[in-house]
Chain A
Amino acid sequence: DVKVTQSSRYLVKRTGEKVFLECVQDMDHENMFWYRQDPGLGLRLIYFSYDVKMKEKGDIPEGYSVSREKKERFSLILESASTNQTSMYLCASSPAERAVGAFFGQGTRLTVV
């Protein structure tokens, strides 16, 4: 079974802290994605990566950065956490072949206080 693992299920951080959200996939997928999900807004794409060290901005990249040093790991970084970044964060991965779906992790619920 494909597994996408996010490092934490729940996280509480203080305003101004630097926050790292880690995501690891075990299926050698080329593509990895970070989304955030807020009530009434659905899933919004923050960043995605289609190869090691490659990244592209999604729809809402402001306040975030990403790192992909190894194929299996895609990190989302909040340089200086703010309360409006309180959200559910979801990581996903998919292979380069277009006719295959993406697989999601269980999500990290981040609260910034």
Chain B
Amino acid sequence: DAKTTQPTSMDCAEGRAANLPCNHSTISGNEYVYWYRQIHSQGPQYIIHGLKNNETNEMASLIITEDRKSSTLILPHATLRDTAVYYCIVRVAPQGGSEKLVFGKGTKLTVNP
């Protein structure tokens, strides 16, 4: 499984874009990049995922570099409710057999008023 590296913490001003980086330099061709977030005392919440192309949904955008060794989650207009721990993980897509989700320690994002 590819490992991911994220900064321990980040700050962002309310209303500004939050850009959260993730390094996954050993990712292989069939591994998706997933982002989750966890607000205090709740279970993790799925945000977005991608394989090669950039992706956007109602919550965020995901930019994946061409070599796929890193990605950035973008929250375009951060609000105080976006304060959470954000996890970048990779998920193997084998043809058969088992797989697992492996979480790192994530990035603690604090959105300041």
Tell whether A pairs with B.
yes
Task: Give the A-binding residues of B (Cβ under 8 A).
Answer: 30, 32, 34, 36, 41-46, 49, 51, 87, 91-93, 97-106
Q: How far is the CB of B75 from chain A (nearest CB, A)?
A: 17
Q: How far is the CB of A108 from chain B (nearest CB, A)?
A: 10
Bound Cα distance from A61 to B100, whole angstroms:
14
Q: Is the CB of A101 within 8 A of B46?
A: yes
Task: Give the B-binding residues of A (Cβ under 8 A).
Answer: 4, 31, 33, 35, 40-45, 48, 50, 54, 56, 58-59, 90, 92, 94, 98-99, 101-107
Q: How far is the CB of A100 from chain B (nearest CB, A)?
A: 8
Q: A41-B105, A42-B105, A98-B30 are in contact. List 5 more A-B contacts (CB 8 A).
A: A42-B103, A48-B100, A50-B97, A56-B100, A92-B43
Q: Is the CB of B32 within 8 A of A31?
A: no
Q: Is the CB of B42 within 8 A of A99?
A: no
Residue among B34, B87, B98, B101 having the largest count of chain A Cβ atoms under 10 Å? B101
> Chain B residues with Cβ under 8 A from A98's Cβ?
30, 32, 91-93, 99
Bound Cα distance from A40 to B100, whole angstroms:
21
What are 21 A-B interface contacts by the 8 Å CB criterion? A4-B43, A31-B99, A33-B101, A42-B103, A42-B105, A45-B101, A45-B103, A48-B98, A50-B97, A50-B98, A50-B99, A90-B43, A94-B101, A98-B30, A98-B93, A101-B36, A101-B49, A103-B46, A104-B44, A104-B45, A107-B42
Residue of B nearest to A104 (CB): B43
> Chain B residues with Cβ under 8 A from A107's Cβ?
41-43
> Chain B residues with Cβ under 8 A from A45's Cβ?
100-103
Bound Cα distance from A59 to B32, whole angstroms:
20
> Chain B residues with Cβ under 8 A from A58's Cβ?
100
> Chain A residues with Cβ under 8 A from B49's Cβ?
99, 101
